Structure 1
Amino acid sequence: MLEIALRRNPSQACAYAQNLMYKTMKKIIGMFAIAVFAVACKKEDIQQNQNEYKGEILVNFDLKAGSSPLALRAAGDTVNYDYNTSNNQAFNVSNFGFYVSAFTLSGPNGESYTQEMKATAESAKGYYKVEASNPSSSFINLDNIPEGSYDQVSFTIGVGEEGVQSGASGGVLDPANGAWFWNWNAGYIAMKVEGSAADSPQEFVDQGNGSSIPAKRMEFHVGGWKDVEGSMFVNNLKTLTLDFGSPILIGEKYAPEAHVVVDVLPFFNASNNDFTTSYSVHSPMAGAPFAATFQSMFVMDHVHQ
């Protein structure tokens, strides 16, 4: 068409060509501007997502016996009995601890946070072992929490299916690191309470090679992660939900510390334990009455905002 116009009227053809080129250039520039704008918007969105603040909270498990900090005695100490049960039976504690996992937070306006859990041969992310003999283990830092207001925290006492079925796990789940592992069917010990009880009928036993069971020994190992009908295997995992009392803020300017009191006395009082007949527990079924006391052992005491 342009060639025919050029033969008939060269000046008109040149004007036509210039107009066509101008329109084409406008389209090209417009499309380029749209593309640049789209890239800029995408980059801004990415920057906003990257700049969205993630906060943290420190959960401090305060280990106590009643209103007093938990005192540890040497294993086999039958002289110093620090505590009494509601049945007026004297005892002391030489070892106390528990596994805690599966932390979640929730808020009044729909805020939510679930800590990532992953058990591999190298590590055990989201699993913690709190031991009275290791005070630093009582401090658990939860990070990467979306900024907002929160009024509840939930966690599980024990190690669930993911941690058991992952196979040989690292970190606090690795038996080579002192993990409290029974076997695949029973899983991990969720809580240990060991010491001496004045009314325990346990006699001294020399096991040879320098190993022995002290007289008056009491030893409670509570665990189990699944129910198997007609067997000794029961699920003693307990998920607890504690209120902060009032909403707390987590964000760029706020890193609160929550104090959760863990009282060992309800372990014996709420189960109505009698040391004369119950002083050695090492199976999921036998531990079920004590797992039922976990809810009364863990209490949200206060939060530093």
Structure 2
Amino acid sequence: MKNTIYRCLAVLAVSLFTVSCSNSDEEAITGTGSLNIEYDNAFGSNDLILQTQANTTSNGEVLKINKIKYIISNIVLTKDDGTVLTYPKSESYFIIDEGTIGAQVAELKNIPAGNYTKVKFGIGVDKAQFDLGATGQGDFLTTANTAGMLWNWTSGYKFLAYEGTFTSPTQTTAAPFTIHTGQTGTDYNYTEVTLDLPTNAQVRTTITPDVHLIVDLSKITDGTNKINLSEQATIMGGAKLPLIVKNVEQMFRVDHVHND
């Protein structure tokens, strides 16, 4: 009889513990928090160093990168239960700039607490936003212009600005290269990327996850589409630009997620 009572008490204790833990978990995922997306620029397996680092492509061209900037926009997060959070569009435009301290992180605020499994974002400014006209851009138009990410209003935004010098087996003296993506004629060249997270980003009132992306710049000219700068060193339009836009989609991968 005593054993039966002890067993009942043990089961009751476990049940109470389980309910307590469940309630604790529910309390932990209420409210709102923040989430950071870090864009860590690299070239192949090497962390990027501007100006001095020699970066060799598969076709033997050696690049020294002086500038890399790109616009990140339209961020969408997906929870483990399938819930989709579209970050407010007016707050969803960021210029990632390797040459400016602290300009490699998109800081997202007022995110509903939860476990996030996927992130989606655009590279550039979407056509619907551009079609709002200059007065519909809010503060971002001035921000982009100051950062050199706007040709002029008629030509529109630079979605990506990639510049430096290069040598090659046929170009032994360092020559400049310039690659800018954006609207060219009837081609708008805005693109989006969706990435699965290897570990849930646990947004809490007390936890701000950091989603650490590696951005492999070698893909710009050395992705699925091989671009020889020796053939054309300035690309801001023409037949090669859509090929580069497809390459840009391949630059991003999730390295890890910090939940602390």
2:164 aligned counterpart, secondary structure: strand
* Corresponding residue to 1:149 among 115, 128, 132: 115
- 2:182 equivalent in structure 1: 223
- 2:222 equivalent in structure 1: 269
Trace 1:138-217 onto structure 2 (pairs within 5 A).
138-164=104-130, 165-168=132-135, 169-174=137-142, 176-184=145-153, 186-199=155-168, 216-217=175-176
Q: State the distance in 1 between where 2:206 and 2:102 align.
A: 25
The 8 Å contact of residues 129 and 172 in structure 1, kept in 2 or not, is answered as no
The 8 Å contact of residues 68 and 162 in structure 2, kept in 1 or not, is answered as yes
Trace 1:1-305 onto structure 2 (pairs within 5 A).
53-73=31-51, 82-118=54-90, 125-164=91-130, 165-168=132-135, 169-174=137-142, 176-184=145-153, 186-199=155-168, 216-224=175-183, 232-270=185-223, 271-283=225-237, 286-305=240-259
1:184 CA displacement: 4.8
1:191 CA displacement: 0.7
Q: State the distance in 2 between where 1:197 and 1:157 align.
A: 25
Q: State the distance in 1 between where 2:146 and 2:226 align.
A: 34
Q: State the distance in 2 between where 1:177 and 1:193 align.
A: 17
Q: State the distance in 1 between where 2:34 and 2:138 align.
A: 25
- Across the two proteins, how many residue pairs are aligned to each other? 225
1:268 aligned counterpart, secondary structure: helix
The 8 Å contact of residues 172 and 178 in structure 1, kept in 2 or not, is answered as no
The 8 Å contact of residues 234 and 284 in structure 1, kept in 2 or not, is answered as no
State which structure, 1 or 2, has the greater radius of gyration over its C-alpha atoms: 1
- TM-score relative to the length of structure 2: 0.78
Q: Deviations over 1:23-50 (max 9, x none)?
A: xxxxxxxxxxxxxxxxxxxxxxxxxxxx
Q: State the distance in 1 between where 2:192 and 2:161 align.
A: 17
1:167 CA displacement: 0.9
1:132 CA displacement: 1.0
Letter in 1 for 2:187: V
1:279 CA displacement: 0.8
Letter in 1 for 2:253: V
Letter in 1 for 2:216: D
The 8 Å contact of residues 158 and 191 in structure 1, kept in 2 or not, is answered as yes
1:199 CA displacement: 3.4
From the superposition, tell whether residues 222 and 246 of structure 1 become closer, same or farther in structure 2 (CA, over 3 Å).
Answer: same
Letter in 1 for 2:134: G
Q: Report which structure shows greater RCO (CA 8 Å, sep ≥6).
A: 2
Q: Considering only aligned residues, what root-mean-square deviation do their CA atoms show, in Å?
A: 2.4
The farther-off stretch of 161-170 and 292-301 is 161-170
The 8 Å contact of residues 159 and 187 in structure 1, kept in 2 or not, is answered as no
1:159 aligned counterpart, secondary structure: coil
Q: State the distance in 2 between where 1:158 and 1:296 align.
A: 15
- TM-score relative to the length of structure 1: 0.68
Letter in 2 for 1:219: T
1:148 CA displacement: 1.3
* Residue ranges of structure 2 left out of the alignment (5+ in a row): 1-29
From the superposition, tell whether residues 95 and 272 of structure 1 become closer, same or farther in structure 2 (CA, over 3 Å).
Answer: same
1:235 CA displacement: 2.5
* Residue ranges of structure 1 left out of the alignment (5+ in a row): 1-51, 74-79, 119-124, 203-213, 225-230
Greater fraction of residues in helix: 1
Q: Which runs of 4+ in 1 moved over 2 A?
A: 168-173, 182-187, 199-202, 283-286
Identity of aligned residues (%): 23
